[in-house]
Amino acid sequence: MWGHVLISIVVLLTSLFYHYHFSEPASIIDYPETHYDYVVVGAGTSGCVIASRLSEMSNVTVLLVEAGGYFGWTSTIPLLAPMMQGTEVDWAYKTEPQVFSSRGFNGYRQNWPRGKGLGGSGQLNYLVHSFGRPEDYKRWPKGWSHADLLPYFQKVTDIMNVVPMPEEEYLTKAFILAEESLKLDNVSLRKAMYTAKRGSRWTTHHAYLQKAWNRKNLHILMNTLVTKILFKNNNIEGIKVMYKNGSIGRIGVRKEVILCAGTINTPQLLLISGVGPISELEKHKISVVRDLPEVGRNLFDHLNVPVYVNLRERVSITLVKLQTVPEVFNYFTFGTGWLATNGVMGLGRANNSGLLLFGVASAEEKLLKTISNFETETYRSLFPSYNDSMHEGFIYLVSCLQPKSRGSVTLRSSDIRDPPRINPAYLQDSDDVTCTYRAINFALETLNTRLFREYGAKVHIPDFEECRHLRPDYRDFDYSECVMRIAGLTGYHPCGTCRIGAVVDEELRVKGVSGLRIMDASVVPSPISGTPNSVLVAMAERASDIILDRSFN
């Protein structure tokens, strides 16, 4: 995509070099032992932290099981993250057809990418860093307040190598300046922070797993799907797995299994293993281990409305600017330039309005349309740059930070290889419409400031047939609602399906069984007013201390 031939050649050469110098870490195994003290399911954002921390104890044995393998080399270049979607490192889920939203998507379905392989979703995400707001944690159960998590946040900021957008940059400058000129209460418009090292993606795979993967007491089993959690009288016994070659195995556990398979796969695995709402288990003829009504409920996500802003001045990242020799050369020699960034120039909020400034003016239509599942007409109405790689502009991703709508993850069948039914129920609660409308208006206000005016920033009004009877102006409530129900796009932040307090207790133990814990995005009780990845790293650090029964470490 971004610079086809040139980039392909460099990628090929560098990847040959990379593989030539790469020797398999000692922890990667093909044949597991019969028993381990701890088994961690899923090597994603959270699983890499847990496996690494537990194996620091040299007197315990740890097995980390991951359904995927290594991520390819593209995953290291921040700006190329979208290219991994739909490939073998993506579970490539789709939501159920939506009733209250997604009208401009094929079949009313959103694409829900999830990472598969060492690093999990953290290995294909957009790297934006945030810890949300202190108020987000107010109603979280005991032990998970903002004050409890704060020492972990400080620790994680260092370990995850949180860095600001590197260069002094036109759009960032305008964004920051808007905070001063707006002079509104509770408004924050800041440079975006992201996790990277010398221009390369930096995730828990690098920061935690790679530090641990030569330890003798840690084994890592890749390309192996955990198909069931095994119990005996509600006590954990072990796991059932399917190896790459299709054969089935069982692995025993002496202490605990920790599920880190993510918001979608963790409830799916629990349900298939007989832990969940009894009605759901009976529907699929699964024998009941424990009736736990809330498994799979409370699913939430952010919904982003892409508001395109046209620019008169040449201050954005266009496809043409990315495909130059110096741009590619600088990246591969010095780790600098646009490719070293995630393209996110600013993060803002005011009350419950969230704003993300994505500074890339244009992308190849096929790529963005395919990964989002937008219908062609929707895509073209939203992005005036669709047929013009020199077009100047940027995208404001606008969202309600604390949505109230709640959906669910349920089984399609009792076969783990069947993708579960995912229903985020976007915009089901009408308060979310009002909240998103306010967020759009907040975005418009920022444009009415000095530098944005100098750049000739002008919001683009999509011309959707379904909204033509309305006044084409985002300040008009009905028009805004019409647009958000057509074009609102997943924020890629699904959480909540095994929340603390309902499915797991305050120490993350699954209720009603023993020897089973969960630590991943599914335990997050309510939305984080920002991005979840760094919060999960901090939570996984605290979870490790809980499991090892030690205080802040």
Ligand X SMILES: Cc1cc2nc3c(=O)[nH]c(=O)nc-3n(C[C@H](O)[C@H](O)[C@H](O)COP(=O)(O)OP(=O)(O)OC[C@H]3O[C@@H](n4cnc5c(N)ncnc54)[C@H](O)[C@@H]3O)c2cc1C
Q: Footprint of ligand NAG on residues 435-474 (CB under 6 A)?
A: 438, 442
Candidates 432, 435, 440; CA nearest to 351 is: 435
Q: 226 labelled as ligand-binding? A: yes
The helix/strand/coil state of 199 is: coil
CB of 466 to ligand X, least distance (A): 27
Q: Which residues are catalytic?
A: 493
CB of 362 to ligand X, least distance (A): 19
CB 345 within 8 A of CB 393: no
Among 14, 16, 30, 414, which residue sits at the site for ligand NAG (rule: CB under 6 A)? 30
CB of 376 to ligand NAG, least distance (A): 12
- DSSP annotation of 504 reads B
Q: Residue 404, exposed/middle/buried by CB under 10 A (0-12, 13-18, 19+)?
A: middle
Taking CB within 5 to 8 Å according to partner kind, which of ligand X, ligand NAG, none is near residue 31? ligand NAG
Among 243, 332, 336, 444, which residue sits at the site for ligand NAG (rule: CB under 6 A)? 243
Distant-in-sequence contacts of 369-376, Cβ < 8 A, 24+ apart = 370/86, 371/82, 371/85, 371/86, 371/111, 371/113, 372/105, 372/110, 372/111, 372/489, 373/94, 373/105, 373/106, 373/109, 373/110, 373/111, 374/104, 374/105, 374/106, 374/487, 374/489, 375/104, 375/105, 375/106
Taking CB within 5 to 8 Å according to partner kind, which of ligand X, ligand NAG, none is near residue 126? ligand X
Q: Which residue is nearest to ligand X (CB)?
A: 44
Kindly give the pairing relationship between strand 35-41 and strand 248-259.
Answer: parallel
- DSSP annotation of 340 reads G
DSSP one-letter string for 130-162: ----GGGGTTSPTT-SHHHHHHHHHHHHHHTTE
Q: 128 labelled as ligand-binding? A: yes
CB of 115 to ligand X, least distance (A): 5
Residue with Cβ nearer ligand X (467 or 502) = 502
* Site for ligand X, rule CB under 6 A: 41-47, 65-68, 113-117, 120-122, 124-128, 225-226, 260-262, 265, 269, 492-493, 520-521, 531-534, 536
Query: CA neighbours within 13 Å on the CB side: how many for 303?
Result: 30
Among 187, 339, 347, 368, which residue sits at the site for ligand NAG (rule: CB under 6 A)? 187
Among 59, 287, 333, 551, which residue sits at the site for ligand NAG (rule: CB under 6 A)? 59
Tokens in use for 250?
């069982």
Tokens in use for 409?
């993850």
Q: 125 labelled as ligand-binding? A: yes
Asked if 186 touches ligand NAG (CB under 6 A), the answer is yes
Residue with Cβ nearer ligand X (480 or 490) = 490
Asked if 350 touches ligand NAG (CB under 6 A), the answer is yes
Among 1, 11, 57, 150, which residue sits at the site for ligand NAG (rule: CB under 6 A)? 57
Residue with Cβ nearer ligand NAG (388 or 505) = 388
Amino acid at 546: I
DSSP one-letter string for 209-257: IHHHTT-TTEEEE-S-EEEEEEEETTEEEEEEEE-TTS-EEEEEEEEEE
CB of 539 to ligand NAG, least distance (A): 22
Cross-strand partners of 28: 220
The helix/strand/coil state of 276 is: strand
CB of 137 to ligand NAG, least distance (A): 13
Binding site residue list: 45-46, 125-128, 226
Binding site residue list for FAD: 45-46, 125-128, 226
Q: Footprint of ligand NAG on this chain (CB under 6 A)?
A: 30-31, 57, 59-60, 135, 184-187, 243, 245, 247, 350-351, 353, 387-388, 438, 442
